[in-house]
Amino acid sequence: MDKRVQSIKWLYLSFFLLPVLAMAQEKETQKDKGTNIDEVVLVGYTKVSKKDVTNAVSSVKAEAIKDMPSNNAAEAIQGRMAGVQVSLSEGSPGADVDIVIRGGNSITGSNAPLYIVDGVQMDNALSILSPKEIESIEVLKDASSTSIYGARGANGVVLISTKGGRKKAKTFINYNGFLGVRSIHNTIDVLDPYQYVLYQYELYNKAGIQTDIDAFKTRYGTFEDLGKYKDIKKRDWQDEVFGREAFNFTHNLSLTGGTEKSSFSLSLNNVQEDGIMIGSGFKRNMANFKYDYDISKKLSLTLNARYSRQTIFGAGTSSTGSQGTNRLRNAVRYQPFEGGSTVDVDEFDPLFADQTNLVNPVLLANNEVKENGRNDLMLNGTLEYKINKDFTFRSVIGYVQRDEFVNQFSGTVTSLARQNNDQPVVFLSKAQTRRITNTNTLNFRKTFGKHKLDLLAGQEIVKTDGESLAINIKWFPKSISAEEAFANIQSASPPSGLVQDAPKAGRAPDRLASFFGRANYIFNNKYILTASMRADGSSVFGPGNRWGYFPAASAAWKITEENFLKDSKTISELKLRVGYGLSGNNRIGAFLYDTFFITSSDYGYAFGTNVTPGATTGNIMANKNVKWETATSKNAGLDFGLFNGRIYGTLDVYQTDTKDLLLLAKIPQTTGYEYQYQNSGSTTNKGIEFSVGSTIISKENFTWKIDANISSNKNTIKSLGNNTSASSNFYYYPSGWQNNLNDFLVQVGKPVGTYWGYVTAGRYEINDFDYNSTTQVYTLKAGVPNASAAANGAKPIQPGDLKLQDLNNDGIIDNQDMTDLGNAQPKFYGGFNQTFRYKNWDMSLMFNFSVGNKVYNANKIEYSTQYLYKDNNMLAEVANRWRWFDDAGIKVNDPTALAALNANTTGWTPPAGAYFLHSYAIEDGSFLRLNNVTLGYSLGKEFTKQLGLSNFRLYFTMNNVFTITGYSGYDPEANTRRNPLTPGVDYAAYPRSRFILSGVDITF
């Protein structure tokens, strides 16, 4: 096994062993220093004592994240919960955060969980919440807990409660602010100027074509002149584009208090963050007001208003994730020095751009302007009426509105403008979604001697509406600025006979009606039984398929309440849980069961001198039979506590079977369509989760706590139904970074996200060829597999070319030799964190890790393949390629001399064919990352009291401190495809940065 993986394992195990040793030496034992066994958690529209929970639930409380400065709530919980993978797709400001619970169930649909904030559904809620305002986050992981949420609960449910004030409390004002700076953490090594020109010399001179030889001399000089490139100043384009110091200013202000009958909380958040890339940044303003009022002894009211306004600046590194818009390529492959062109390096050279497919990366970054804005409004009110001591009625009504816009300007040096008469292009889009929710529940709670009964009945409606509009506007005046173009779109003037693209508009109505019930029974405080049922009716399905039914049941046995353990001094808590349930997924667009027409100039026809837009049904065929996707989950768990709660933990094993997958299936084009949504196929997720925590040392002046978790999940495709092209059990799928590259395999018996490609076999050596000394031609020997078609653009194979394994032994390398190259699924993953307090000092360390997952480094393929263009820089390892020219610049053909020349080289000649996947780009993505280190100091109570304060804390934090990994790219967690079928692809990701900050936390 790789030494890095072993080191990660040993380091992780040490965090379990050290606490045991420390506890063995500490004799003091205190009951109140362990986990709070009376902790309350949210489960299924109601609060339940943690000791009575029968489901698989992970929880993070405000106490755990209160001292961690972060602008993203998802980052604050990363690595804290077993079975919950939290990862950033890339390092850009405001980057998407992926949260996957127990491996995810869908293939082509979203695997994002359902978010409920203060009782109201929200999409991607963690992106609009400040960690400082979160009271608790509960993650429901098994169907016995999620089924009561029915629709969209198949991928887990995240319940978020925000902080409020306290009744009978004086008013407190808290300010928490920090100032920080980000810097690039890692770069891709490329050829230096001398290595670069040597490689270009080989490209221009290898074929002996005089025009190429002359072109090289014109651009770079003679071979004798190349020595000057050893001393020429190198331009590090990655540093120039991504190397700026990016400052962050964050302010959090909260006001809380209460009277005899009411409490209030006002939270304000302001973030101004620069990105490390030129032109990128992030700005956010948030406000949240929460008010609780006891109208009478029986009637109470809670009102909550939240508003968030955020804008992400910058076009990023790849707007669509495809090769055509890869801006990272320019920073990696642009010539690493000034000169080599008839135009100054800091000016745009259209001829050089055409010849190299590259643009000066600094010019490009300054020639693209993008503003991606989002405004979120959430209003909700809760009315709770205690009918009597047993019955409680609760009604929650919420309104959520999201407005999004994109303003993008592509200046004259961009490829988009050059495709449109060298004139700027503007893309504008606006979208709004509105959601109204109303949930009404009636709760009955009563104790009869040894019997405790908790019944809940409820009804819920969710009404979602929205509109979107997008327009691409071409042919602006060349001198126009981005701001002028956004404000004056009428200044775009199409050439004679052409028309602007027609706007694209859409509406997204969605209706959901639900009825549900839940019963919880406890006997003698030992045996707990919970059952629930939910019925959901969704408008996205056609008549006859709109209703789905999701039952669930779970049970628990408090073993420590039995006589044989009741007086145990070692085992303070032991509870066995089992659960079974169904949950549903309806995440498809509206009206897919019917046929609609769209208009576009793309489908237009000529009429006179103009183009008249036409109408089409699109490429997705209607399906009246599509119905609910259903996930069936089985779970068994064990909760334990030792030494009066000094050590506590949970062990869960589970299996989730998802059937009737809502899958965007590729269908025969003889139908006139390309895709159709179908209930096609099934998947299985099996796994085990273990979490443990401990208060290792608890003394008056020193405490040491640790929490750790580790999880393993195995995903398997069980069936693909009718969604096949070549067989009944598999099909190929493109990652999309390069056109027509089917580099993923979707096959029954394998996990989702299986890489599909060739196996790298090194390079062709001299002994693989017959050499004709008269013609000086190398010809492959009989029996040596020929990779010409697969790797070399059908050009004859020569010594030093890339060699691939001939898996079927037919002597030809073709798609029959492609195979399973691994997948993005880790063998296990998790995190651990430690907190220390010594007198007035505090310190915390947060780690997360992954072991056994593979990463598809698509950058590595592109930056080591020659393909179409010369004058492109390459990865630094290309310097160790096969050589054809000796130190005097003379081409060597003689086999003996050529072998001697390459005795100390190990790399192959960059392939001349199209891009393709081979195992060289599939790397071990195992890593151990120290995500966060925070050191704080709080002034003593007597001193703060003299200042009129109740708290004053200074802190210093570093995020993304170090990463132990063998991965050669920017970041082993990069995931740029945004598609469940193509995980783990690192292509043109925005580099991840290190963040150093200091701040202050003051309470008046």
What whole-number distance in Å separates Cα of residue 906 and Cα of residue 43?
59
What residue type is assigned to position 694 of the chain? S
H or E stretch including 901?
helix 895-901
Selected residue with higher pLDDT from 925 and 130? 925
pLDDT of residue 726: 43
Q: pLDDT band for 778, please (50, 70, 90 cuts).
A: very high
What residue type is assigned to position 971 of the chain? D
Running DSSP on this structure, what letter comes out for residue 673?
A: -
Local structure of 125: helix, strand or coil: helix
Q: Which structure tokens are listed for 115?
A: 């978010």
Is residue 869 predicted with pLDDT exceeding 60? yes
What whole-number distance in Å separates Cα of residue 105 and Cα of residue 723?
17
What whole-number distance in Å separates Cα of residue 696 and Cα of residue 704?
5
pLDDT of residue 599: 61
Is residue 596 predicted with pLDDT exceeding 50? yes
The 3-state secondary structure of 65-76 reads HCCCCCCCHHHH
pLDDT of residue 20: 44
Which stretches does DSSP call E strand in 700-859? 702-719, 730-733, 744-747, 754-757, 760-763, 769-772, 777-780, 802-804, 819-823, 828-838, 841-851, 854-857
Local structure of 803: helix, strand or coil: strand
Question: How much is the average pLDDT of 325-354?
Answer: 79
pLDDT of residue 225: 92
Selected residue with higher pLDDT from 815 and 89? 815
Whether the Cβ atoms of residue 620 and residue 187 lie closer than 8 Å to each other: no
Q: pLDDT band for 606, please (50, 70, 90 cuts).
A: low
Is residue 29 predicted with pLDDT exceeding 50? no
What residue type is assigned to position 176 of the chain? N
Selected residue with higher pLDDT from 49 and 472? 472
What residue type is assigned to position 837 of the chain? R
Segment 565-574 long-range contacts (CB within 8 Å, at least 24 positions apart): 569/643, 570/642, 570/643, 571/640, 571/641, 571/642, 572/34, 572/37, 572/641, 572/642, 572/643, 572/644, 572/645, 573/37, 573/51, 573/639, 573/640, 573/641, 573/645, 573/648, 574/638, 574/639, 574/640, 574/641
Q: pLDDT band for 611, please (50, 70, 90 cuts).
A: low
Is residue 659 predicted with pLDDT exceeding 50? yes
Nearest to 184 by CA among 220, 237, 135: 237
Contacts of 217 (CB under 8 A, 6+ apart): none
Whether the Cβ atoms of residue 49 and residue 747 lie closer than 8 Å to each other: no
Sheet strands side by side (includes 675-679): 620-621, 675-679, 662-666
pLDDT of residue 347: 73
What whole-number distance in Å separates Cα of residue 145 and Cα of residue 53?
10
The percent of the chain in helix, strand and coil, each rounded to the nearest 5, is: 15, 45, 40
What whole-number distance in Å separates Cα of residue 175 and Cα of residue 165?
16
Q: pLDDT band for 724, please (50, 70, 90 cuts).
A: very low
Selected residue with higher pLDDT from 321 and 208? 208
Question: How much is the average pLDDT of 869-891?
Answer: 96
Nearest to 146 by CA among 160, 158, 157: 157
Local structure of 915: helix, strand or coil: coil
What whole-number distance in Å separates Cα of residue 179 and Cα of residue 998?
6
Which stretches does DSSP call E strand in 77-165? 84-88, 97-101, 114-117, 120-122, 134-140, 157-162
% the chain with pLDDT above 70: 92
Mean predicted lDDT score pLDDT of the chain: 89
What whole-number distance in Å separates Cα of residue 954 and Cα of residue 79?
25
pLDDT of residue 15: 45
When mean pLDDT is compared across 254-258, 350-354, 681-685, 792-796, the lowest value belongs to: 350-354
pLDDT of residue 613: 63
pLDDT of residue 35: 42
List beta partners, residue 962. 930
Contacts of 253 (CB under 8 A, 6+ apart): 173, 174, 175, 176, 267, 268, 269
As to burial, measured by CB atoms within 10 angstroms (0-12 exposed, 13-18 middle, 19+ buried), residue 452 is middle
Length of the chain counted residue by residue: 1004
The DSSP annotation for 309-337 comes to EEEEES--SBSSSSGGGBSHHHHHHS-SS
Nearest to 873 by CA among 230, 317, 360: 360
pLDDT of residue 18: 45
Question: How much is the average pLDDT of 388-399?
Answer: 96
Whether the Cβ atoms of residue 755 and residue 821 lie closer than 8 Å to each other: yes
**Tens digit of pLDDT for each residue in 527-557?**
999 999 999 999 989 898 999 999 999 999 9
**Tens digit of pLDDT for each residue in 433-457?**
999 999 999 999 999 999 999 999 9
What whole-number distance in Å separates Cα of residue 371 and Cα of residue 280?
9
pLDDT of residue 22: 46
What whole-number distance in Å separates Cα of residue 85 and Cα of residue 100?
5
Is residue 340 predicted with pLDDT exceeding 70? no
When mean pLDDT is compared across 136-145, 338-347, 702-711, the lowest value belongs to: 338-347
What whole-number distance in Å separates Cα of residue 830 and Cα of residue 712?
9
Question: How much is the average pLDDT of 889-901?
Answer: 96
Largest CA distance in the chain: 105
The DSSP annotation for 513-570 comes to EEEEEEEEEEETTTEEEEEEEEEEEETTSPTTS-EEEEEEEEEEEEGGGSHHHHT-SS
Q: How many CB atoms lie within 10 A of CB 229?
A: 21
Supply φ then ψ for residue 358, to 5 degrees. Answer: -130, 150
Q: How many CB atoms lie within 10 A of CB 618?
A: 15
Q: pLDDT band for 12, please (50, 70, 90 cuts).
A: very low
H or E stretch including 917?
none
